[in-house]
Structure 1
Amino acid sequence: MSDWIYAVILGVVEGLTEFIPVSSTGMLLLTKQALGLTDVNWDTFIVLIQLGAILAVVVLYFSRLWKVVLRLPSDPRARRFALSVIVAFLPAAVLGVLLHDLIKQVLFESPRVICISLILGGVVLLLIDRYAPHPTRDDAMALPLPTSLVIGFFQCLAMIPGVSRSGATIVGSMLMGVEKRAAAEFSFFLAIPTMAGAFTVDAWKNRHELAHGHMGLVAIGFVVSFIVALGVIRAMLAIVTRRGYAPFGWLRIAIGGVGLALLMRG
């Protein structure tokens, strides 16, 4: 199978899974293994194409985000929102830089860890969907800074492949009294600096390899993940509004269970 077909497949998986709480990184790594892609450059490809999905958030929320940018000099609420995203971003930024090599070289090579994390995360989603504290915050752009910081620490759990970044931040948000839809939206906003940072670090560390022909494949995966994510974000918000996070919890458990069964057979 041609490399560009692999790039399209991985781009579709990224776009489908970046924002729903099933772990895009875990699903991409399992897909990579299923396709037999052993070249380490595919690990870098997986990180880089995530920026395509993040661009979908910028496009869909451009009007609201642009208003924040314009009002930063004069509106305290705009400054508070920007600061809340920065505060939530900082824990993962610091740990991501410090643990980058460990994450790429050790955790990225453990499909069993991914499957177990998918199952455990699914159970957590089912529990939090049913027993979360009564929400007291329903605006993703007006969260208190202490709440944002706690959400930021929850995001750090996503450094373990299989622990969904969106799932971890949504769980943290709901435990802090954030309403379900607002929790999803704040997770989207937080993804922008988080994945842009991961893209920058990986692109710099692998700049020599990328300069020798890999950027074409990255471009394909980037565009595909962007297009798919545009539809997925709208669909996820509709599902969360009507049915909560239980469907995603069961999906995680099913995927993790099938993965473990295949690993044991192998």
Structure 2
Amino acid sequence: MFRQGGTEAVQTDERPAKSNGSEHHVGRHRRVVGTAVGVTVALALVGGILLSRRVPDQATTQPPAANTAPAAAPPVTSAIGWNAALVARDDTTITVYASLGDTRCKDVVQPQATVTEQTDTQVVVAANGRIIDANDCSTSGIRMPLVVSLQKPLGDRVLRDAASALPPPTFSERELPDLASDKRWSPHSSHCDEGWCQSYNGPNGSTLFTGAGRTVGGESSAAVGTVSIGSREGTITGSPERSWQVRWEVGDVTYSLRLTPTEGETFSLQEFRAELARLRWT
């Protein structure tokens, strides 16, 4: 605006005010930008801190390094011979009786038997285990019963020991009385160095001893009679004061059964025959 007729002219210009507004706007924009940059930097710092804290956590969750130590060597086992076998009534379960023979003061750890060969004519069974020094030499060398199962009945096939390649004597439960089904008789531990044997406790303190072995010759005692043993014929020996025994032969094997009364008691021959008749023969 200009004033005339006077002494001076005054100019009024509103642009400075507009200029102040622009400067204010620019300043505010700079502050916003600065704040945004600061926030971005702060977030980056925080993220870096969190990342630096997370890395050790991830490291601790890594799976442990694989054990590179060599595996322990399996225990060394040795072959063990067996000198007798018992075939169960099912004709597929075989118990072989293994021992270290003349070796003294040695025991067998974890003994086991396996079928190593089956053909139409023979079955080969191997026994083995870890042999160690015995803690008690008086009990070492006792035979160990080891059981194997066949895929089909043994039948007429020959059983052989893998260690000796020989056929030790083989006995059959079918040729013995079925005492497992007779609750009057309970088995107890028994031991024989050769062949097979089993003892039973019976009524009124009596005992029954059954055994089997290779046929070696005639009877050592005079026969007092005969009796039917299933489809076999047995020979009776003995006396009332001590015990009665019956023997019968199947091929080259002799089976026996001995009945002994409790101490101070006796069995007559008639009572012995009656007891034999009560047993189950299959």
Query: TM class by shorter-chain length?
Result: under 0.3
Which has the higher Rg, Structure 1 or Structure 2? 2
Greater percentage in strand: 2
Greater percentage in helix: 1
TM-score, L = length of structure 2: 0.21
Q: Larger relative CO (CA 8 A, sep 6+): 1 or 2?
A: 1
TM-score, L = length of structure 1: 0.22
